[in-house]
Structure 1
């Protein structure tokens, strides 16, 4: 769940709209841009659904386009005149300057070469650096300006197994498609092999074991205005030196492989020693159908794909490793999950060799395999990680890291050696990378300096259990200053997600911790729909059970009030992406609980997207489809836009969509904000701040993140009602 905190959006100033508004302490008076309703009616299974602002789907219509630009200008004008925004900008710049000299996107080849990005203060962009090994001196490897690019932000790195080449990705203008270049370390130059129509978030470069080329997921249509957008993708094998335009499909839908057009046929190669390649029919589900082929056949361009594990085998798609003639994997079950092993030649996923087990409260969340060991992590309620190693004799030993992590991720592993590291952080512990020694001890990787944040030394955390509407206990993580008085005047900032089985894992962010340092409370409800208690926790917040997600959130909010930690009107609610359903519906049902609702690239009209003829994702696996009568009812029930009630008073609202979002179209947020602005209330601001530069998961630079979170927290703070 790291990606949500690193979604830094870039904001550009558009038209200036004359707007009058008051500063904190007075009622806001905003003149909203006008748009006429153009209602359409859909009837599904005898149920009538009225879409009042369906005209906003016509994004190329000049009237609609101008309305969106005016909305963005209104939001920008609001923040230009907000004194709190200026205070946050100044304070956040000082906090963020701490991190500017650190390295990012560290990648390690199988032979131990280090590749990483490092920010250049004078040039204000990142360059690619290289070390032969960790003890070697760093060398500047690639300056993105030498390629003549306007966009100098490197968004993807993947070194070959032998460390002699590295794939470098650039996302251009926030579009879905990226461009990947190949840098040859021996020739010290960019090769002519330019890969297009690729999106590393959906499937990046998988280097062939001999590093002679790679396989990648190719998208025939990357224009979101076209009907085939993101559909019918297939994996392509590319040998270095060949013409990238002469694409050779290696894994795709055909008569033998019945892969739906909106699934993604991608592959995984884990080591230069691998004798097999795994192909996945990828989707938004946790479990995939898979196929397996022999590497020599793949290299010849003639793989014989054989069925391997299936969706019903409950194998977590990203947690499987080929080791010789064995396949080691993470598998869900009724009690939680397990680490298992089967023979590739005769796999029996119903009766695997069980290596380790996790339960619902403390499931195994990830693992990696080295030459002789298996390392894995458990996560208690999604916020307290414990680490383990299993040796070749199947003996399991718990490791003792330097601090108790809330999040951990392994790196540097390979079937060729026993080297491995782990990156860890938590709500109050900065992300730090450690090497795990053979004896189980830890040594800091020391590639970047440890950053000191004395202003957060007295910040503490705790996790409490909250009883939800149906008696189920929901974990709630709290972060606040030591000695905080339990009084009803505390200001609370809630961050919630609750979808796709993604846990709200602890993360270290000075920009978030500032809220606690200023005397407020950070609250992170681990609601159903996430993965904090394993796959069942996810399933209890999916489709027709989605209501559990927002009712868990409401229960956690009420618990904060009942514990006398805060009061209605002093609770700001923040979310992103799919969390828009959870948070948006909580606001619809209990608007009295919240002072403001802030949503980044949010999903607010799921029925509209799932019923759209241009839908280009497998999100229906998470929310439901209009093609099923029961799931249709669930979609209507979970839709924040359709369930906006004009007769009640809503909190202040700030939605922050992206124009180039490949997953959630701009009209999703537009319809929601239009409905709020045209309701019968004028007490609170309802704003839409649009990012016209980036996409759903485009990462911005330091200044962009400072500006983004200055808006978020100043909006939250300025709309508190004491």
Structure 2
């Protein structure tokens, strides 16, 4: 199973595909024949793609006519469209059924993943110090909820979702009350947007009668009231994607245990006075059982939110008096603010990096706060946490080299000596009521470990996550080089390979890029990736603009009308791999997911000769189509731009991989993994790109779309699905390498 840390980073992985059969006739003609000729270990395929009669649509934006050639693929209720997607998926499944490398990867990846199969996931620690976590059951192929007291190593099974109702649910979230006596458990059926929450009472060892519906913990989960008498959650009135208002007009509600589940008291968002857009998500945060205030955030896909504050006592009465706290223009990171007594401690973006600050809640002055730690563009502060009398924060040099600091009550800063050199650090078990604090750490070649920080600043290994042995990775090394982009900017490029590898231009490269939403490509330990390097290849991770490796300005330089910097940085990094003789065109595979589809897709459009293959999971390939569509509720325009703004429209058109495909061009082998149940990027986004690419491509390279009809955009997949998915990815990569 993917480790807790890698599972978070790779949670977008898609599972085995369920074939959705729909019969049609008429204009759809397809042939699923596959003529495979083997040449040593390589296979070259001639594919007959499903035929589809395109119905284009032309729209006028600011005097520019834009043709959407496969506009009719957006009608996912049309039987002919559904049948075309089914045929494309069947073709991909047939391809992998006949790929001779699949059995090898299934066996090897199964061996790797099963070594850590029993490690817990979704580890949560209550304020009282007790553990709650999931463990995978091989016999039933599902996760169960377990409890372990802070005072013992004995674990107790609390809940098995297979025993709930018809057994069709999986655990999607867990949230214990501050005292750990009650646990809100999110349950979700495959393919559904919303979770159902039930409450387990440890005192009675049973589920309470509460059944809370219309919640999606990815957008806003359970926030327990300080006294444990109930909780606040983000309620979605419409959770069926086929109905008007889907995902819109959400608001936070108060629920008291013992009431009828449909007795929801609106407390944040459902107010004309606050004037919150129907596309935003008004959610709240409560930091501890001693909090006197509740903060309400107007959430979106951006980094910075407007925030409001009210007294906790008013929340109990169901009559909050919200006052403006700070605005998005203050550039306070949405997930990086903590209340401790009458202090609000937060991380704030500056032009040269990020800084840590404090304001007094009685007299908050965000224009002139007290500074805990200053900003550094090359070594930005990435996260922090608070304890009873200290603050801990991390810096990350170019996104991969992490340092950890302790701040005492007098604001003296001390750098801690870490057990090993990590590329990623996360905090756990902290609270403003006690001194306990833990950190999880891993790196490109260092497996995920959890430590408690002792009072003297040393580290003690926690015993919950068991170490798995991977001797085949002992010879792997990592380094980061700097690459000059087209405009002279220095772009970090991380490499992982086997010690002693020769730079003779013959090394196969698996290149993973993202570059959006200010997310850094921070190191993670993932055996199925590391296998590539152990077999003699190179893993390459370009830290392109659009990410957060150099602070918020690095992100801004890859947004909206500046998005071209992202893919030009990627092209520069790929060219550097060639120029510095790490590899050569034909031996470089490009991989991405989600928003990274724009960066990778445009790099392929501009330099298809550089890449042997292009693989993307739940990718965004038609951002102009999504932003101009009325079928999706999204605030992604904050990242990419809006069709309602003339400059941003042209930026969207320029960054759109689908719109910028060129006919009669030799494109690399392409494999997309969209999801039918994706609540963020609709299936037609990938479908239009694949249809157009199949029509325009003049090479013999396969162009495939393997559709997941089971999961959503970033639903965590089980062990077996992950093994199948990555076996497909790497068998496709190996098959399509060329000399």
Counterpart Cα distance in 1 of 2:72 and 2:687: 10
Counterpart Cα distance in 1 of 2:598 and 2:610: 17
Counterpart Cα distance in 1 of 2:429 and 2:151: 12
Aligned residues: 722
Counterpart Cα distance in 1 of 2:210 and 2:283: 20
Superposed CA offset, 1:104-163 (max 9, x none)? 111100001111111222222221111121534111111222213433531211110010
Residue in 2 that maps onto 1:62: 79
> Match for 2:70 among 21, 34, 53?
53
Counterpart Cα distance in 2 of 1:637 and 1:336: 29
Counterpart Cα distance in 1 of 2:526 and 2:567: 25
Query: Mapping of 1:636-675 within 5 angstroms?
Result: 636-675=653-692
Instruction: Check conservation: 1:573, 1:598, Cα contact below 8 A.
Output: yes
Superposed CA offset, 1:57-97 (max 9, x none)? 01111110010000000000000000111111110000011
Residue in 2 that maps onto 1:528: 545
Counterpart Cα distance in 2 of 1:453 and 1:148: 40
Counterpart Cα distance in 2 of 1:523 and 1:93: 24
> Match for 1:144 among 161, 178, 191?
161
Counterpart Cα distance in 2 of 1:573 and 1:607: 23
Residue in 2 that maps onto 1:475: 492
Query: Mapping of 1:202-213 within 5 angstroms?
Result: 202-213=219-230
Instruction: Check conservation: 1:598, 1:712, Cα contact below 8 A.
Output: yes
Instruction: Check conservation: 1:654, 1:686, Cα contact below 8 A.
Output: yes
Residue in 2 that maps onto 1:231: 248
Report the Cα offset of residue 4 of structure 1: 4.0
Residue in 1 that maps onto 2:215: 198
Superposed CA offset, 1:505-535 (max 9, x none)? 1000000000000000000000000000010
Counterpart Cα distance in 2 of 1:680 and 1:279: 50
Deviates more, 1:122-131 or 1:100-109: 122-131
Q: What SS does the corresponding residue of 1:358 show, helix, strand or coil?
A: coil
Query: Mapping of 1:4-403 within 5 angstroms?
Result: 4-14=9-19, 17-23=32-38, 25-133=42-150, 135-403=152-420
Residue in 2 that maps onto 1:439: 456
Instruction: Check conservation: 2:42, 2:734, Cα contact below 8 A.
Output: no
Deviates more, 1:653-662 or 1:319-328: 319-328
Instruction: Check conservation: 1:9, 1:700, Cα contact below 8 A.
Output: yes
Residue in 1 that maps onto 2:25: none
Residue in 2 that maps onto 1:701: 718
Query: Mapping of 1:453-464 within 5 angstroms?
Result: 453-464=470-481
Instruction: Check conservation: 1:339, 1:354, Cα contact below 8 A.
Output: yes
Superposed CA offset, 1:178-208 (max 9, x none)? 1111111011111111111111000110000
Verify: 1:606 aligned to 2:620, yes or no.
no
Superposed CA offset, 1:282-336 (max 9, x none)? 1111111000000011011011000001111111111001111111100111221
Counterpart Cα distance in 2 of 1:285 and 1:408: 23
Instruction: Check conservation: 2:44, 2:736, Cα contact below 8 A.
Output: no
Report the Cα offset of residue 681 of structure 1: 1.2
Pick closer, same or farther for the CA change 1:479–1:658 going to 2, 3 Å. Answer: same
Residue in 1 that maps onto 2:513: 496
Residue in 1 that maps onto 2:567: 550
Query: Mapping of 1:684-695 within 5 angstroms?
Result: 684-695=701-712
Residue in 2 that maps onto 1:571: 588
Counterpart Cα distance in 2 of 1:11 and 1:330: 40
TM-score by length of 1: 0.99
Counterpart Cα distance in 2 of 1:68 and 1:20: 21
Q: What SS does the corresponding residue of 1:29 show, helix, strand or coil?
A: strand
Instruction: Check conservation: 2:59, 2:66, Cα contact below 8 A.
Output: yes
Report the Cα offset of residue 6 of structure 1: 2.4
Q: What SS does the corresponding residue of 2:375 show, helix, strand or coil?
A: strand
Counterpart Cα distance in 2 of 1:235 and 1:635: 33
Residue in 2 that maps onto 1:562: 579
Superposed CA offset, 1:220-248 (max 9, x none)? 11111223111110001001111121211
Instruction: Check conservation: 1:488, 1:567, Cα contact below 8 A.
Output: yes
Instruction: Check conservation: 2:378, 2:397, Cα contact below 8 A.
Output: yes
Gaps of 5+ in 2: 22-30
Q: What SS does the corresponding residue of 2:575 show, helix, strand or coil?
A: helix
Report the RMSD for the aligned CA atoms in angstroms.
1.2
TM-score by length of 2: 0.96
Report the Cα offset of residue 682 of structure 1: 4.2
Q: What SS does the corresponding residue of 1:286 show, helix, strand or coil?
A: coil
Verify: 1:580 aligned to 2:585, yes or no.
no
Superposed CA offset, 1:589-630 (max 9, x none)? 000000000000000000000000123010000000000000
Counterpart Cα distance in 2 of 1:77 and 1:682: 20
Q: What SS does the corresponding residue of 1:461 show, helix, strand or coil?
A: strand
Instruction: Check conservation: 2:16, 2:721, Cα contact below 8 A.
Output: yes
